[in-house]
Structure 1
Amino acid sequence: MIDALALARDLIRCRSVTPADDGAQAVLGAALEALGFAVHRLEQGSPPDGPIHNLFATIGEGAPHFAFAGHTDVVPVGDHKAWSVDPFAGTVADGQLVGRGANDMKSAIAAFVAAAERHVARGSPGTLSLIITGDEEGPATHGTADLLTWMAVRGFDPDACLVGEPTSNQLLGDMVKIGRRGSVNAWITVNGAQGHVAYPARADNPITRLVAILAELKARPLDNGTDWFQASNLEVTDINVGNPATNVIPARATARINIRFNDRQRGVELENWIRDTVERHAPSAEVIVKISGEAFLTPPGPLSDMVDFAVQRVTGRTPELSTTGGTSDARFIRSVCPVVEFGLVGSTMHQVDEMVPVADIAALTDIYDLVLQQFFKSGDAA
């Protein structure tokens, strides 16, 4: 029998700080192979963002095909001395599993493997897969996106997918993510001419134009939100001129902005707006834009209903359907099949003493198991 807690502890003991793997996917692969899964361990991508350790495991054949998606990489521990325990020991204390990745998201992976064991024992027809990357907390260049391409070539596209991100807010089961906002980052560099502040006519102050650019960008309301999304929002996240002197007009000024946007916007349209605004104020400015992901929504339907039913049966709670928070790898999967996200309470993810109640790991296993029972009974989550 798979012990979800024991497997979660074994995964935490692997120091898989992104993009390192440190044996995490070998631990996971061994557990899945013992259940009869065909496990494919891949190294995908090339420098500077690769190679990345990815894993795809599958059992069964034909339709329907259900997939679980997650990541074995974790964020750095930060101040190691601030932790009450070794962050990579997988310590259980006072009913809590403590360690980096306990919350985000090694415990959820372990819970799903334990649920998968029950599924295999039932002998349900169809296909069950796990899509696991080692590049979710990093640039995500060669993670889930590359793995999905590899799967598509081999005919492994799922019919529905559940991502095990820690979506619960305060109590297990109080929130399910059915979509995410998109994200755009832009770096703006305005060049001028350095000079003495007492002789401004002999210089060209780039700060003046950069401030005008940022003011215009920030002043425009992008939208008022939708039924499922907050209003799109732009924030200035950095301004730098690198000027230690008080009597010098600098030669260069830079800024970075981020836009979190809903499904009324598109990344390329926002990029064009940024570039057009900069062009009007500073035609020679340099602009770099990176679209991290588009907004997406899986409208409430069979898949979210299955999760809702399972959560209510196990916890007695009715989850809120939400699109709040940052981006996730669901942004890649949504182009393949319906996708929702559900997992543990995320209150300590990325923090010192990241932890999860042991009881929640057992309850999450039961929830995942009920989702699988419903899906393979209905065979439809479109």
Structure 2
Amino acid sequence: MYCCPVLNLAKQLISIPSVSPLDLGCQNIIASRLSKMGFNISFLKHQKTNNFWAYKGHGITLSFAGHTDVVSSGNNKLWNSCPFIPVIKNGYLFGRGVSDMKGAIAAMIIAAERFITYRPNYSGRLSFLITSDEESHAQDGTIRIIEYLKIICERINFCIIGEPTSDKVLGDVVKIGRRGSLNVDLFVYGLQGHVAYPQLTGNVIHNVLPFLNALIAYKWSQGNKNFLPTTIQISNIHSGLGNDNVIPGELYICLNFRFGTDISVQDIQNKMISLLSKYRIKYTLKWRLSGHPFLTHSKHLVHVVHQTIRDINHINPMFSTSGGTSDGRFIKDVSEDLIELGLLNNTIHAINECTKVYDLQLLSLMYEDIMKKILF
């Protein structure tokens, strides 16, 4: 019942505990299959990260991008089965990384094998961009492949990233861009002392509260037709020595901004510095930009993907820029026309991560249909 090439390859990849940034042989399996199809492959290992760029053909380029690394399985005792031993139960395939995103990679590769078998003389170029550093720091992965492509003056006309974008039904949500992400490490300073003598100290926690209230209440942007309004979230706060009788003199706050194209990084930085000055905060700042917002400009790619989902799964997808960052923030430098389409995201990074077996085959058919429509 469940004997199909996509399922078999997905199970093979899941069986490898490739916790980011390690690949541990996943890419060798993929590259071997691509090599048999006649792909030219460039391996681009950097530090502990395995990467490769593979292509076959010439001309207009359709690229499929993905990652073989997965997040940690956490406490394996909480899983119903071993996270790195794929198990099928009630029509679902369980295993760490099945949805994010080894299942999608399996669907891509099998789609390519079918496509090339039935259309060996296709027009254009089919390519793959694969990394093992998406789930961790993303410093040695896709960004390094893009550096290489820039050096050799490569461009990608259309790119499909296999991130798990679907919500309730396969293909119901497609990402046509992502918000930018700006992280802030804020260090605030006061004057340490004894809690019984507050008049001799400067309680850094007390001093920073009005500033934080203003920071959270501020309307950073209104958003636009493609992006939601800018949001700010405090992810970490740490202060004090652990003693109940010491007023802290230093405080650390980690914040994150998610923003669209209606506000710039400089605007965010200027306003935050202005608020710090208004509330007379003594501070130092460290900004860490994870990525600028991006949006596909290709009506053709969006039309093709919309038509494919309607033909294969008989639904009309919603095109969105919501959610976290992806490697699209790097790929956009060589391909403005990219979308993300993958499996359901309801169990990604969770205990008992799983996907419908049926969805694996359906996604592979979608990928194959996109190949047919663009590389005719």
> 2:156 — aligned with what?
158
> 1:365 — aligned with what?
364
> 2:32 — aligned with what?
30
Residue 11 of structure 2: SS of its match in structure 1?
helix
Distance 2:328 2:87 in 1: 30
**Higher mean displacement: 266-275 or 15-24:** 266-275
- Work out whether residues 150 and 334 of structure 2, in 8 Å CA contact, stay in contact via their aligned partners in 1: no
Distance 1:266 1:52 in 2: 32
Displacement of 1:282: 4.8
- Work out whether residues 178 and 323 of structure 1, in 8 Å CA contact, stay in contact via their aligned partners in 2: yes
Displacement of 1:152: 2.1
> 2:106 — aligned with what?
110
Residue 351 of structure 2: SS of its match in structure 1?
coil
Change in 2 beyond 3 A, CA 1:371/1:305: same
Displacement of 1:299: 4.2
Match 1:74 to one of 70, 73, 96: 70
Displacement of 1:34: 1.6
Tell me, yes or no, if structure 1 residue 55 matches structure 2 residue 57. Answer: no
Displacement of 1:300: 6.2
> 2:60 — aligned with what?
64
Residues 151-177 of structure 1 deviation map (CA, whole Å, 9 limit, x = unaligned): 222233211101010101011011111
Distance 1:69 1:275 in 2: 38
Runs of 4+ in structure 1 displaced over 6 angstroms? none
**RMSD between aligned alpha carbons?**
1.8
Displacement of 1:279: 4.2
Among all aligned residue pairs of Structure 1 and Structure 2, give the percentage whose two residues are the same amino acid: 36
Match 1:324 to one of 307, 322, 325: 322
Partner AA of 1:204 in structure 2: G
**Superposed counterparts of 1:283-302, under 5 Å:** 284-299=282-297, 301-302=299-300
- Work out whether residues 64 and 128 of structure 2, in 8 Å CA contact, stay in contact via their aligned partners in 1: yes
Distance 1:280 1:336 in 2: 42
> 1:350 — aligned with what?
349
Distance 1:8 1:86 in 2: 16
- Work out whether residues 62 and 159 of structure 2, in 8 Å CA contact, stay in contact via their aligned partners in 1: yes
**Higher mean displacement: 143-152 or 296-305:** 296-305
Match 1:179 to one of 177, 191, 210: 177
- Work out whether residues 154 and 334 of structure 2, in 8 Å CA contact, stay in contact via their aligned partners in 1: no
Residue 80 of structure 2: SS of its match in structure 1?
coil
- Work out whether residues 275 and 287 of structure 1, in 8 Å CA contact, stay in contact via their aligned partners in 2: no
- Work out whether residues 236 and 257 of structure 1, in 8 Å CA contact, stay in contact via their aligned partners in 2: yes
> 1:197 — aligned with what?
195
Match 1:266 to one of 261, 264, 267: 264
Displacement of 1:266: 2.1
Match 2:229 to one of 217, 228, 231: 231
Distance 1:367 1:272 in 2: 45
**Higher mean displacement: 126-135 or 219-228:** 219-228
Partner AA of 1:374 in structure 2: K
Partner AA of 2:15 in structure 1: R
- Work out whether residues 179 and 258 of structure 2, in 8 Å CA contact, stay in contact via their aligned partners in 1: yes
**Superposed counterparts of 1:131-170, under 5 Å:** 131-170=129-168
Residue 43 of structure 1: SS of its match in structure 2?
coil
Displacement of 1:181: 1.0
Distance 2:150 2:194 in 1: 60
> 2:126 — aligned with what?
128
Residue 285 of structure 1: SS of its match in structure 2?
strand
Distance 1:27 1:129 in 2: 16
- Work out whether residues 43 and 52 of structure 1, in 8 Å CA contact, stay in contact via their aligned partners in 2: yes
Distance 1:36 1:73 in 2: 25
- Work out whether residues 279 and 285 of structure 1, in 8 Å CA contact, stay in contact via their aligned partners in 2: no
Residue 184 of structure 1: SS of its match in structure 2?
strand
**Higher mean displacement: 137-146 or 32-41:** 32-41
Distance 2:286 2:208 in 1: 15
Change in 2 beyond 3 A, CA 1:210/1:352: same
Displacement of 1:180: 0.9
TM-score (structure 1 length as normaliser): 0.93
Displacement of 1:101: 0.8
> 1:380 — aligned with what?
none
Partner AA of 1:72 in structure 2: T
Partner AA of 1:272 in structure 2: N
Partner AA of 1:56 in structure 2: W
Partner AA of 2:82 in structure 1: D
- Work out whether residues 71 and 136 of structure 1, in 8 Å CA contact, stay in contact via their aligned partners in 2: yes
Displacement of 1:200: 2.4
> 1:17 — aligned with what?
19
Partner AA of 1:229 in structure 2: F
Count of aligned residue pairs for this structure pair: 371
TM-score (structure 2 length as normaliser): 0.94
Displacement of 1:278: 2.7
Residues 23-50 of structure 1 deviation map (CA, whole Å, 9 limit, x = unaligned): 1111111111121112222212xxxxx4
